[in-house]
Amino acid sequence: MGGQNIKKDLSNCSAMLQELGQIVTKPVRIMIVCGTHTRAILRYNLRDFIPENLQLVSGPGCAVCVMPAGHVDAFVKVASQPDVITAACEDLIRVPGSHDSLASMKRKGAHVELISTPMEALKLAIDKPDKIVVYPAVGFEATAPSIAETILEAASLGIDNFCVIPSIRLLPPTLDTLMCDPELSLQGLLCSDHINSVIDSDAYAQLARKHHLACSIVGFELADILHGLINLVKQFNAGTTEVDMSNSTKFSSEESARAARLVSEVFFAVDTDWRGLGTVEESGFVIRDELSLYDATKRFKIRFSEGVEPCMCQCDKVIAGLKLPTDCPAFGMACTAQSPIGPCMISAEGVCASYFRYNMDSMKTTL
């Protein structure tokens, strides 16, 4: 987005910025859960336009970043098997495991294809019947319906050379764990409306009540983000702990019900490891036994190990909102967008990548 467009958007939102300036009367800390929201806030350099008392803390909402090295090790192990094609998105193939990434395996001769959607991986399997196409499914709950749909499509077509390594994580249980950390001391959560399609707002309503938090679920435009921040500050001032969805994308009840049905037909929740956050109860999906043909962990008999994280990297603390990228000694020195070390610099949704790309000079004490 060019400088002119940024100025125009900021000018169009000047009344909202002014309102924010008036209603922030005491310190308030808000977690920006989603990596795309963090990137937008940095792109607009919002810190220069909002009151100092409004502190924004980045959260764990980058799916590639929160995946531990041990999961990449599993992807690498499967990619090294004969007759396997690994079909993965670009961000993912660059993330390092304990020793290798999918990109380094590709350089060593493994067959790794870049794709954007799970259906593309299934199409590859149909086109290459003499190979097994493996799709490492990395994402949050919002990605689960399309992955479930692809697995069910493979089953209905009788395709047996396609399988998935499930590495899908669920944000509400992890946010619940994070909110117990007194060091964070938050008053609000700004969440993306991606979640709308599968998780009903009850999970967030429970979270808000349990931790006395305001919660706002919004889209990705500047006006959406400002709407969310204004709502959160107003809730904080009034002492309410509600989930505001008035400015989020609306999904029909049929769409939501279909998504929920697909997910429950294919997956169930289990305790899952997160980079920097440890094992969180029922925070990830695995594939049901009835569909084990499509579960690469069973087909290739792999288990997720702990893995070794890149040395020097402090992504674990950045993900938990406990450190800024600029607190990491490698930031902008050994670790840059051109030569990234950890997933938070590798992924376009990563906080370090957003910091590096936008407004490094104006970084303050939060976001």
Q: Which residues bind ligand SF4 (CB under 6 A)?
A: 312-315, 318, 325, 328, 330-331, 335, 341-342, 344-345, 352
One-letter identity of residue 118: P
Smallest distance, ligand SF4 to C-beta of residue 227, A: 30
Smallest distance, ligand SF4 to C-beta of residue 339, A: 10
Q: What is residue 242's three-state secondary structure? A: coil
Q: What percentage of the chain's residues is helix, strand, coil (to nearest 5)?
A: 45, 20, 35
Q: Which residue has the tokens 């259906």?
A: 119
Smallest distance, ligand SF4 to C-beta of residue 337, A: 10
The encoded tokens of residue 292 equal 């084990």
Q: Toward ligand SF4, which CB reaches closer, 72 or 259?
A: 72
Q: Toward ligand SF4, which CB reaches closer, 257 or 337?
A: 337
Q: Toward ligand SF4, which CB reaches closer, 44 or 356?
A: 356
Q: Which residue has the tokens 């100092």?
A: 52
Q: What string of DSSP letters covers 24-86?
A: --S-EEEEEEEHHHHHHHHHTTGGGTS-TTEEEEEEEE-TTTTS-HHHHHHHHHHHTSTTEEE
Burial 216-226 (b: 16+ CB within 10 A, else e): bbbbeebebbb
Q: How far apart are CA 340 and CA 334, in angstroms?
A: 8
Position with the least CB separation from ligand SF4: 342
Q: Toward ligand SF4, which CB reaches closer, 144 or 335?
A: 335
Q: How far apart are CA 277 and CA 300, in angstroms?
A: 27
Closest to 274 in 3D by CA, of 319, 318, 324: 319
Smallest distance, ligand SF4 to C-beta of residue 66, A: 13
β-bridge partners, 125 = none
- For 90, 260, 264, 269, the CA distances from 134, given in Å and listed in that order, are 15, 24, 22, 21
Q: How far apart are CA 82 and CA 216, in angstroms?
A: 48
Q: Kindly report the backbone phi and psi dihedral angles of residue 216, in degrees, each rounded to the nearest multiple of 5, phi listed first.
A: -135, 130
Q: Which residue has the tokens 């990137």?
A: 39
One-letter identity of residue 245: M
Strands 84-88 and 214-218: unpaired
Smallest distance, ligand SF4 to C-beta of residue 346, A: 7
Smallest distance, ligand SF4 to C-beta of residue 30, A: 22
Q: Toward ligand SF4, which CB reaches closer, 219 or 343?
A: 343
Q: Toward ligand SF4, which CB reaches closer, 85 or 328?
A: 328
Q: Toward ligand SF4, which CB reaches closer, 29 or 317?
A: 317
Smallest distance, ligand SF4 to C-beta of residue 365, A: 17
Smallest distance, ligand SF4 to C-beta of residue 331, A: 4
Q: Toward ligand SF4, which CB reaches closer, 204 or 331?
A: 331
Smallest distance, ligand SF4 to C-beta of residue 321, A: 13
Q: What string of DSSP letters covers 138-156?
A: EEEGGGHHHHHHHHHHHHH
Q: Toward ligand SF4, which CB reaches closer, 209 or 357?
A: 357
